[in-house]
Every structure is written in C-alpha cells, then in structure tokens.
A and B are shown apart, each in its own frame.
Chain A
C-alpha cells in the first residue's frame, strides 16, 4: 500500500484554556477522498488549519505528502498543498477571474483559471466584484483559487455550504475529477449526502478526537430495521400483531416509523397492509440501512 498522503499523530491544538483538538490521530490515503465529519466545535477546522500551517499545534505531528508540516512560510509543501477555507480569503474588490488569475501566478504549473471557473458554473467573463457575488458564488471562487495551482493534496473546508443543488453537483463532479487524476482530497462537511456521494474514507470527530473511522458502508453497518412513512398517530397494536414476534416498532416522528428485528418479506407485507387499512400508502421505505446521519447522531450522543 502506498504511503498515506496525510498522517496526523496525537495532534493537540489549544487556544488559551480551550482545547480544540485533543489527541487526534488519523491517516488519509493518496488519491482518495477522506471526509472529516462531526458536530460544530468538533475540531475539524482547527485540524485543517494546523495541517496547512496556519496555526502551530500545541503538540503532536502532522506529515503531508511525506514531509513534516511547518508554520514557516515558503516551504515547498505550499506548492503541493492547497486549502479552501471556510471563512474569508477573498479580495472583495476583485472580479473572480482576476483573483484566480493572480493565484495562478504563484504556482509552477497552474490550471487554466477560465476553464476552472467555467467548470464550477461561474461565468469567467463576469465583471462583478467578489463582494457583490452571492455566498454560493463566493464559495466557488474560493474553490477555484484552491485548485488553480493543481495541488497534490487539497483541504476543502465545507465546500458545498450554502450552495444550490446544481452548484453542489458541480463541486461533486470536480472532486471526482480531482481524485481521478490522483489528487488527495480532505473534505470537511456537515452534509452527509456529500460524504455518502464522495468519501472513500470517513473519520468521525467529536470533542477534538477521532471516535470512529472507516468507509461509509463500514460506519453504517448492517442493520435489521425498516423505516417508512405511514399513517399519522394510529394505534400500533394491529401492526405489532401482524409482524414477526421479535419485531419492535416505534414512531420516531409523527408518521415516521422504525421496525426493528426483521427485514423479511412478511414484515414488509404486514407494513403495507397496515398502512392501507388506515387509508395511507407506505412511503420512503428503507430496508436494512441506517443513514450516516443516524450513525453520527448516535456517536455524538454516546460521548458526553
């Protein structure tokens, strides 16, 4: 197996008396998308900022592309590693093309700014200054600026936050194209859909440390439950009687049910019949699969 593109060992980041990252250890394989997910304040952005040398870790080591990270500027890593920050980083009076063209002048073998902006769904010819662009458009300018130097490793800190579905899809396509040409992507996001669509590997963080990692399938795991939407606020005794004896049923939200204990066809048939008896159809039926969001909520809940 090739050496990881990112290795973090026992990373600690403190801001005064607050510990943002508390002994994080993780790796990211080259040419893959590794998603770093977790609740607000989990330490994801601090981890990214320590990785790109924006802040000095209190302890621990970080290695990118086989080189130790330094907060000193001018290191060769800055030619090979890029970041799209969650906040700031733009020159408000410049146009998108001017800004991305300027960024291109700093790199040895830059990508074509016009093509890159076009791929992200922005009109390269637009004369509107960045400060007048929508939040989603500004996100895409930041993404183009991060990618114009053709980095070998790129950190995308919430790249799809505030984007409409089409713009999100263009970012998804771009990330897939990046990994297609061997770029390693470290993605932080709160959108589990992004993770499920893009991530080869997921690291779940909470309270500054990694609490679980693996592929999406490994995290979600096997499940013997059925979830569905059905009639609202009805007596569940009929359904309970029709289901196999080991099944339990709960109404998680009004009209949203979870049956645990069996996923066999008899259980599905019982659910459909029961809904029909109450004048409703069975919708959003999902068998044997928890959502990644369910898993994250469980993991966060497990750790007070």
Chain B
C-alpha cells in the first residue's frame, strides 16, 4: 500500500512526466519523424532551390522559404498530428485509462503541449541548420523565431485538442488532414496573401496560419519584429481554442 509519508508528485512534475512520455512516443513514430523532419527539410530544399511558389528571388529566397517551412511545421505538428494522435488515443482507450490515474485533464493537456512544443523546436533547429547550409545568415530579428514558434504551437495545439475532443478518431483524421491542406495552400502559408485573390487576401491575415506565416516572414525576410496584428491574431486564436478545448475535451 502507499506510504503515507511519500510526497505526491506536483502538477508540474506530472505534466513534465507526461510531456516526456509523449515526446518519446512521438519521436519513435516513423510517420511522425517524416512529418517533423524529412518533409520540412524536403520542402525547404524545394522552395529554396526551385521557383515553385516563388514570390522572392536572390538572397531573400532561402529566408522566405524558411518562414514558410516553419509555419508548415507548426501547423503539421501542433494541429494535424496532435489532433490525430489524441483521437486515436481515445479510440484505443488509453485516455480513458489515464482518467483513472492521478493525471488531471490540465496536466494531460499541458504535457501534450510541452511534447509538441519540444518537437516543433527540434524541427525548427533541423530546418534552420539546413537553411544556413543553403546560405541563410540569421540576423537579430531571428530571435523572434522561438517566441513565435511557441505562440503558434500553443494556438494550433489548442485547436488540435478541440477538434480531437469534438469528433471521433476517423473523422479527426480526415478533417485534420483536410484543414491542413487548406490552411497551408490557401491560408497564407505557401502562397503569401499578396498573391491570393482579393477576398482570400483579406481573410488570410486573420487566420492563425496566415498570422503565423506573416510573423515568421517579418522576422526572417523583412528582418523586423512581427506585427502587432499577427501576434494579436495568434493570441486570440489561442484564447478561443483553449476555451473550446477545455469545453470539448473528454477522456472517452
């Protein structure tokens, strides 16, 4: 039986334990490694070395490609992968079982966010190294990458968890992949808002994908701080997504 004098792990300790557990599972998954490292690096090479979706030229091409790839990585890891993995954890009964342990819902969500943030940071480091090899030279404004990455990861993770809470696993799989393609292609990520038709160009800066890509482009291409609009849009999506996830998340 439990030793009465033993110290109960703190909420932070349990959140960290869950983050560590999720990270190990994520990095072991071959499909996840492909999404986290191989596809972003391949996309960076394609956008940097070809004229595919190119709106910049010369020395701006690699930073512009890097901004796009970082936004794609965040959306892929924090929204699509997280939503799908959580949906399937529910289907396998793993979440249901965790509900009987001392791990609380907040600790689970914090752990999932921590693991996803770590994976996106690792992905960012990997693509940044490749970008340097392709000729990118970081400037002071590159210091904004990490805060934007964390904010973007939090906003998309909140919506990933909200989606996983609302629908069953198979529906999450289909919708998360579909939304990923729509956001990446028409949400201001690969094709900048300025190159999109009028109504879409007006909407994309208000989407989390557009705001995230704009913020990365500001610090990597324009070499300045991200605009208040981009940051505000991400914060609003984060707040609403957290509220929705808190209401919709269920263990079983």
Which residues of chain A are near B46, meaning CB under 8 Å? none
Contact, CB under 8 Å: B2 / A108: yes
Contact, CB under 8 Å: B1 / A152: yes
Among B6, B96, B104, point to the contact of A108 (Cβ < 8 A): B6
The 5 closest A-B pairs by CB, nearest first: A88-B93, A89-B97, A109-B6, A74-B104, A105-B17
> Between A and B, how many residue pairs show CB distances below 8 Å?
95
Tell yes or no: B29 within 8 A of A by CB: yes
Q: Which residues of A are at the interface with B, using a C-beta cutoff of 8 A?
A: 52-54, 73-74, 78-83, 85, 87-94, 98, 102-103, 105-109, 145, 149-152, 181-183
Nearest-neighbour CB distance to chain A for B13, whole angstroms, equals 8
Give Cα distance in the complex from A152 to B1, angstroms: 5
Contact, CB under 8 Å: A80 / B2: yes
List 6 additional A-B contacts (Cβ < 8 Å) besides A85-B96, A89-B97.
A88-B92, A88-B97, A102-B17, A108-B7, A108-B9, A109-B2
Nearest-neighbour CB distance to chain B for A98, whole angstroms, equals 7
A-contacting 9-mer, from B20-28, B64-72, B142-150: B20-28
Contact, CB under 8 Å: B2 / A91: no
Tell me the nearest residue of chain A to B104, going by C-beta: A74
Tell me the nearest residue of chain A to B26, going by C-beta: A93
Which residues of chain A are near B28, meaning CB under 8 Å? 93
Give Cα distance in the complex from A151 to B2, angstroms: 6
Given contacts A102-B17, A109-B2, contact A82 B29 (CB under 8 A): no
Among B17, B24, B100, point to the contact of A83 (Cβ < 8 A): B100
Can you sample 9 A-B contacts with CB below 8 Å? A54-B251, A74-B102, A78-B100, A85-B97, A88-B94, A88-B97, A93-B25, A107-B9, A107-B102
Give Cα distance in the complex from A71 to B97, angstroms: 13
Among B3, B93, B103, point to the contact of A87 (Cβ < 8 A): B93
Which residues of chain B are near A151, meaning CB under 8 Å? 1-2
Which residues of chain A are near B100, meaning CB under 8 Å? 52-54, 78, 81-83, 85
Tell me the nearest residue of chain A to B3, going by C-beta: A109
Give Cα distance in the complex from A287 to B99, angstroms: 49
Tell me the nearest residue of chain A to B11, going by C-beta: A74
Give Cα distance in the complex from A94 to B94, angstroms: 12
Which residues of chain A are near B105, meaning CB under 8 Å? 73-74
Contact, CB under 8 Å: A92 / B2: no
Which residues of chain B are near A52, meaning CB under 8 Å? 100
Q: Which residues of B are at the interface with A, using a C-beta cutoff of 8 A?
A: 1-3, 6-9, 13-14, 17, 21, 24-25, 28-29, 89, 92-94, 96-97, 99-105, 251-252
Give Cα distance in the complex from A98 to B96, angstroms: 19
Contact, CB under 8 Å: B21 / A102: yes
Contact, CB under 8 Å: A54 / B252: yes
Give Cα distance in the complex from A152 to B96, angstroms: 21
Contact, CB under 8 Å: B103 / A91: no
Among B7, B96, B102, B251, point to the contact of A78 (Cβ < 8 A): B102
Give Cα distance in the complex from A251 to B141, angstroms: 91
Give Cα distance in the complex from A54 to B93, angstroms: 12
Give Cα distance in the complex from A92 to B25, angstroms: 10
Nearest-neighbour CB distance to chain A for B104, whole angstroms, equals 4
Contact, CB under 8 Å: A91 / B94: yes
Given contacts A79-B2, A182-B1, contact A53 B99 (CB under 8 A): yes
Nearest-neighbour CB distance to chain B for A99, whole angstroms, equals 9
Give Cα distance in the complex from A5 to B86, angstroms: 35
Contact, CB under 8 Å: B2 / A103: no
Which residues of chain A are near B14, meaning CB under 8 Å? 105-106
Tell me the nearest residue of chain B to A153, going by C-beta: B1
Give Cα distance in the complex from A100 to B112, angstroms: 19
Give Cα distance in the complex from A199 to B233, angstroms: 61
Give Cα distance in the complex from A89 to B24, angstroms: 18
Give Cα distance in the complex from A88 to B252, angstroms: 11
Given contacts A54-B252, A109-B6, contact A183 B1 (CB under 8 A): yes
Which residues of chain A are near B96, meaning CB under 8 Å? 54, 85, 88-89
Give Cα distance in the complex from A98 to B17, angstroms: 12
Which residues of chain A are near B93, meaning CB under 8 Å? 85, 87-90
Contact, CB under 8 Å: B6 / A98: no
Nearest-neighbour CB distance to chain A for B82, whole angstroms, equals 16
Q: Which of B89, B103, B251 has the most CB of A within 10 A?
A: B103
Contact, CB under 8 Å: A105 / B9: yes
Contact, CB under 8 Å: B97 / A108: no
Nearest-neighbour CB distance to chain B for A259, whole angstroms, equals 48
Tell me the nearest residue of chain B to A145, going by C-beta: B97
